Amino acid sequence: DAGITQSPRYKITETGRQVTLMCHQTWSHSYMFWYRQDLGHGLRLIYYSAAADITDKGEVPDGYVVSRSKTENFPLTLESATRSQTSVYFCASSTIPYNEQFFGPGTRLTVL
């Protein structure tokens, strides 16, 4: 299906485990973003990417790693999950800077 998808939609894991959240878009958008949503904080940027093999840190990058070997995929990895990383994670993409960002459906991650 065309659009932006995230998997899994729900994930429960334990402290210390590595977790990878997947993001896939079919539009060939250059720009992709990972945000986390927490009550009282709105959405905060974790990492972003301007193109394949170009990534950079956002506001809250600690504990996360990203890669972008292909334009359409932008996985987010929690190297050693902590309870504070319990959150809803949104992936987004846009054609060019400052255009509308299209958001995926989100992944609800719980770290026990």
Partner 1 sequence: AQKVTQAQTEISVVEKEDVTLDCVYETRDTTYYLFWYKQPPSGELVFLIRRNSFDEQNEISGRYSWNFQKSTSSFNFTITASQVVDSAVYFCALSDLIGSSNTGKLIFGQGTTLQVKP
Judged by the rule CB under 8 A, the positions of this chain that interact with partner 1 are 31, 33, 35, 40-45, 48, 50, 56, 58, 88, 90, 92, 94, 96-103, 105-106
Nearest to 26 by CA among 91, 90, 71: 71
Task: Report, in Å, the least distance between residue 16 CB and partner 1.
Answer: 28
Q: Which lies closer to partner 1 via its Cβ, residue 92 or residue 111?
A: 92
Q: Which lies closer to partner 1 via its Cβ, residue 14 or residue 56?
A: 56
CA distance 97 to 74: 17
Do the beta carbons of residue 74 and residue 68 sit within 8 Å?
Answer: yes
